[in-house]
Every structure is written in C-alpha cells, then in structure tokens.
Amino acid sequence: MRYRLAIFDWDGTLMDSIARIVSCMQAASRDAGWGELEAEAVRNIIGLGLPEAIAALCPGIDAERAELLRARYAHYFVEGDATPMVFYPGVEAGIARLRGREGQRLAVATGKSRRGLDRIFRESGSGGWFHASRTADETLSKPHPRMLEELLAELGVEAGEAVMIGDTAYDLEMARALDMDRVAVTWGVHAPDRLAASRPVFTAETVPDLFDWLHG
C-alpha cells in the first residue's frame, strides 16, 4: 500500500463540475450588480471557500453585496442551473478499487460547504465511499492546511502516511505546508506548469493513471 490515507479534492478532481461553477458564479455576479466575470477568473478560484472566492473575484466588494452574490450563487448552483455534473470517467471504478484494499482510508478535502458536499454525496450516492471529509465552512479555506490536519487527527494517520490529490495549487500547497506528499491531476482548472511549482510527487494526466499509481 503506497499510502494509508488518500485525500481527494472534489471539484475538478473527482467531479466534472467546473462548467456549472463558472456559469453559476457569472449569473450570481450579474444579479448582485457586480457585472460580468471572466470564465478564466472564475476557474482560477475554484477550490477556495466561497467567501474567499468572492473576495478574490471582486476586490473591494462590500459585505452586503458579497452576501447577495453568495446567496445568488447558492440559488443557481442548487436549483437555478441545469449544467450537468458527473464524475470523470473512471473515478467510480478507481475509488471502488482503492476501497477494496484492507486498511485503506479515503477522505475528501473541499472548498465546498458542508451542506453542499452532503447534498452531492446524497445525489451521487458517493457519501459511503469516504471515511471522513472536511469542507471550507467548517474549518479554514485552502491553502491553509487545517482541514488536512483535522482529517489526519480524526483518522489517526501521520502526514507521511497520507497523500493529497487535487487539480489546483491550493490543494497542493495545503499539503506542502505539512510536508505531505501531493499528486497533481491535469484535467481540472490549473495549468500543469502552475501545479508543477508545488512539486507534486506525481502528476496524473488521466484518471486511470492516477488510480494505477495510487494502487501501486
């Protein structure tokens, strides 16, 4: 077993939800009177907690308008946008393969809210895949390492026995702060050269490559 604990980011790593996040954030910004947000700018903040994402996208936004933007984003994401969200091909089989190994632990560390992650768990039937999870609203947003520290403590695993897998520099830098191994995936939002700056131990270009490496 390469690692006792594999910790996965969600959006852009396990689930292809990028288009929906971008569409909802753009619509919410228009509703809040902030104007049009560039798609690439929204892609760049995927992985951060929602308050941190809004602050990065809308420098100087006042608290009232930020709260309106947050509320409109939540509305669109839950019920106002029909952009499909599915697991990347091979994810379900890969997770099942890992779960079949004795002693293997799996967790999620995400910029989503607890309410949002639990809703996705229910809708996708994936909640039972993981032994633990942390969301940005119940701890600190990435790239602060607190959510990883909490997962390690909950599952009784040392940082040297764990790996963080993600598609953004926020994921990788969070793990780097703990000297935890980190794996970059290239099908998400941050470019390979940006991911490489965080010195991942492996860079996966396809989902099968990722799970073959983790299983090895």
Domain map (residue ranges) of the chain = 5-16+85-215, 18-80
| 125-153 pLDDT tens trace | 999 999 999 999 999 999 999 999 999 99
Helix (H, G, I), strand (E, B) or coil at 188: coil
Q: In CATH, what is the architecture of 5-16+85-215?
A: 3-Layer(aba) Sandwich (3.40)
Best CATH choice for the domain 18-80 from the list 1.25.40, 2.60.40, 1.10.3470, 1.10.150? 1.10.150
Q: Give the C-alpha separation, 129 to 161, whole Å.
A: 19
- What are the two backbone dihedrals, phi and then psi, of residue 89, each rounded to the nearest 5 degrees? -55, 130
**Cβ-contact 28, 34 below 8 angstroms:** no
Q: How confident is the model at residue 27 (pLDDT cuts 50, 70, 90)?
A: very high
pTM listed for this prediction? 0.94
Task: Give counts: helices (H), strands (E), the chain.
Answer: 10, 8
Residue type for position 143 = P
Centroid of chain to Cα 18: 11
* Residue 80 pLDDT > 90: no
